[in-house]
Amino acid sequence: MDQDSLPLVSVITPSFNRVDLLPATLNSVLSQGYEQLEYLIVDDGSTDGTWEWLNCVDDPRVKVFSHPDRKNRGQAASINLGLRYARGRYVVILDSDDLLAGGALAAHVQVMENTPSVGMVYGQGYAVDERAARLYKLFPSSHQEESDPNRLLLDCYIVSPGLCMFRKSVISKIGQLEETFRAAQDHDFVLRVAEVSRIAYSGVECFYYRKHRGTISANGQLSRWKNGFKILERAAVRYPYQRSTLRRRRAVLYFRLGQVYLEKGMYLKAISFFLTCSLLDPRRAIAVGLKGANRAEGAF
């Protein structure tokens, strides 16, 4: 397909105090070789020089935004601001500390153009260290997408929206990200996409999740799992999930809370969550906890 006839892709990056990591993220987007691209970067009230650095970027594809009075309003609000200005047929949401793999945009545009019923496509990703050395891949070679919201709710295997390309028309249908969530809003978002459209797995290497000292703390994990219960309640109202899916998901959330409180040394509270988990689905919760112990912090 001729470059001029390709559909426009909007890449959106929310950024807060990432002046040390953002240059590599930006380079991974601008070096894609995909010409029909706009890169919207929303600064969320940074105080480390990010805003000043962004305003020195000299590339017509890059558009820089901030909230009124440069206030800090959170990641979801920053992404929503980007979405309001995005003109692309397709949207990629990339965190400011992560990277796109070369050719990711072109590969996923082709999937979307060839399968109009797909509202979201995602590919293979790797966790990498601060030097971008690979640590492990995010999906096994046997991974397949069933396009079943029950599986996505239960297993929460899409650890970051950076893996994905979304159809803008589907985003318009489901609405913006939930701004009251300061954690786990990405999981809620992809669930809502899966509830109204097909999702597909390309298998294309497309994304690198950077593990570094700034990744989610124990307090961040606590907010994430507490929000998990809110997401579960809302999902149960929106979509006819299987009752076993809801019960088993609740078990995992209790298990995860138990892990957080155990790490904090709050042993009685941790035990109470582990006991609740054991009444719901002990085998699965423990299996998921052990499997995810050393994996991406964003994983649900």
pTM of the shown model: 0.91
What's the CA gap between 88 and 100, in Å, rounded? 18
Q: What is the DSSP letter of 7?
A: P
For residues 160-172, give the mean pLDDT: 97
Tokens of 256: 């995860």
The rounded distance, in Å, linking the Cα atoms of 99 and 78 is: 18
All structural domains of the chain, each given as residue ranges with its CATH number in brackets, are 3-210 (3.90.550.10), 218-292 (no CATH)
- Classify burial at 93, counting beta carbons within 10 Å of its beta carbon; exposed 0-12, middle 13-18, buried 19 or more: buried
pLDDT tens digit sequence for 104-160 = 999 999 999 999 999 999 999 999 998 889 999 999 999 999 999 999 999 899 989
Collect all residues with Cβ–Cβ distance below 8 Å to 116 and sequence separation of at least 6.
none
Residue 65 predicted with pLDDT over 70: yes
| Distance in angstroms (rounded) separating the CA atoms of residues 64 and 54 | 7
Report the Cα 198 to chain-centroid distance in Å: 18
CA angle 116, 110, 208 (to 5 degrees): 115
